[in-house]
Structure 1
């Protein structure tokens, strides 16, 4: 097994585990502003680096001519937006766990196409749903703004995971037809089109963008979010997914909630609810069953970029 690719996958999981920390360390900015800045910074970092590679330039030009690539890019941009809002509203560890559930959605999409999931996949889905229920229980309260905000954040995280799963599902269909755009090209298109659209939305939004609240420290945090938790993981995961078996990259990504929980405790002082640990074990165990049952499902999910 390629050790450099394995190291890249590990670093990717570590960097993605920091995403929620960076989001929470920022001042109270709208999720739209944070996401626009994140994608714009990633674009400014990734384009010069990958622009030196002829293959990357070729894949980006190919994506620009591929209509489906724009749909995929919009799905990923939507994921970034929902995930950012979720991190602002709910505990980091919970959001990271729920963002790791795209494999749970893939069997449902396959069922729509008439592809009946296996028993192990169904059992894994049942376990994961039971775990998600345990994780969401503490936030199910409509008495007061804080519990409701907590619950909405978790729901947004599940919505972000659903967009990622839909992206993977659509990419697989295109791959089966032999017309899937290169993953690097789609990532670059996501940064370019996503940042352009979101910056425009920030400019047109009626409320303040909140950029006047940024200081030297928060600018560094913003750079960390765009570089460490977006640009570097995108490159690292692309390297890992091309050189490692899909099941390996997908399984390594399951460590992201663990890293996120540790960082949230050490940096933010967040403590997990009593039900989070058993719920998290059920979720990750169920997802592992789904990934083990079908390597295609692992391949779908491993194309996601947090």
Structure 2
């Protein structure tokens, strides 16, 4: 495989950043939805995203039995469900921190499968994780003890981090081996499977007061800006950017969300939060400066 052009490679890194940026808008739009349970907000995301994907449905149905469609799609459906529900059980800061740990998955994968320890990945992951902890954590971040609800939220948040990391590795490895991957079909499958999985609860919990103009406007924006766009970019970037780099760039999501809340909702940032942002940016700079070899190396070792 020929060496990838640096400018072309950077274009896909920008996609990774765009993915993080769009995912960071999630909290802003969820703030505009009232009187709806978390799982039903997920259903609305899947429902509207399925409508946005209507032009791919015929092709998706024809290819629905292909393994490269089913498993990655179910992974991303599970990610959205687990990540959203985790916020119902544990404080937002803790859930956000745990969900952002997805770069640990490629690190462990490389150690277990390729017997490769990349020190720069571990150092940069530690820096970014430390910066996010500094940004999110406060002395009263969790004071309710470790009960059943907390453990459920912990499992859900860590599961979403693992799922996102596994998805990136799967797409990256399949692409390295020359498999034809149609991102639009995987994305459509994500929304359709998610819709099917969450519909039973929506049927039971439905009430007309949910269908207000404000709720539906916020839900459409949540679906398109915070779900459809980042899901599309996530699949494209996963094909071209190594799993660790893609997930490390994705760790910027909580920082971007904090900045957006500052600009859009007037939630001012403290000195500790600003310091955390700087540490995260330094860690990301280290990631992008020492990006590992491209797919050629992985294809040879596969």
TM-score, shorter chain, exceeding 0.5: yes
- The structure-2 alpha-carbon separation of the partners of 1:71 and 1:235, relative to structure 1 and needing over 3 Å to count, comes to closer
Equivalent of residue 144 in structure 2, options 125, 142, 145: 142
Deviation at residue 19 of structure 1 after TM alignment: 1.3
How well do the aligned residues superpose, as a CA RMSD in angstroms?
4.2
**Which stretches in structure 1 are left out of the alignment for 5+ residues?**
52-56, 301-306
- The structure-2 alpha-carbon separation of the partners of 1:45 and 1:80, relative to structure 1 and needing over 3 Å to count, comes to same
Report the TM-score, using the length of structure 1 for normalisation: 0.71
1:172 corresponds to: 172
Return 118-127 or 39-48, whichever deviates more: 118-127
User: SS state of the match for residue 171, structure 2?
Assistant: helix
2:17 and 2:279 map into 1 onto residues whose CA distance is: 23
1:174 and 1:274 map into 2 onto residues whose CA distance is: 44
Deviation at residue 194 of structure 1 after TM alignment: 1.2
2:41 equivalent to 1:44: no
1:265 corresponds to: 262
2:196 corresponds to: 196
Contact 1:29/1:210 (<8 A) preserved? no
Equivalent of residue 35 in structure 1, options 10, 31, 42: 42
Deviation at residue 116 of structure 1 after TM alignment: 1.9
Contact 1:23/1:84 (<8 A) preserved? no
1:175 and 1:237 map into 2 onto residues whose CA distance is: 14
Report the TM-score, using the length of structure 2 for normalisation: 0.72
Equivalent of residue 25 in structure 2, options 15, 18, 21: 18
Contact 1:104/1:290 (<8 A) preserved? no
1:188 and 1:268 map into 2 onto residues whose CA distance is: 32
User: SS state of the match for residue 113, structure 1?
Assistant: helix
1:263 and 1:151 map into 2 onto residues whose CA distance is: 29
- The structure-2 alpha-carbon separation of the partners of 1:295 and 1:149, relative to structure 1 and needing over 3 Å to count, comes to farther
Contact 1:90/1:154 (<8 A) preserved? no
Deviation at residue 263 of structure 1 after TM alignment: 2.3
Contact 2:183/2:236 (<8 A) preserved? no
Return 133-142 or 114-123, whichever deviates more: 133-142
- The structure-2 alpha-carbon separation of the partners of 1:183 and 1:35, relative to structure 1 and needing over 3 Å to count, comes to same
- The structure-2 alpha-carbon separation of the partners of 1:253 and 1:143, relative to structure 1 and needing over 3 Å to count, comes to closer
User: SS state of the match for residue 184, structure 2?
Assistant: helix
2:50 and 2:231 map into 1 onto residues whose CA distance is: 11
Deviation at residue 76 of structure 1 after TM alignment: 0.7
Contact 1:12/1:233 (<8 A) preserved? yes
2:291 equivalent to 1:293: yes
Contact 2:248/2:284 (<8 A) preserved? no
User: SS state of the match for residue 221, structure 1?
Assistant: helix
- The structure-2 alpha-carbon separation of the partners of 1:179 and 1:73, relative to structure 1 and needing over 3 Å to count, comes to same
**Which stretches in structure 2 are left out of the alignment for 5+ residues?**
1-6
1:160 corresponds to: 160
1:121 corresponds to: 121
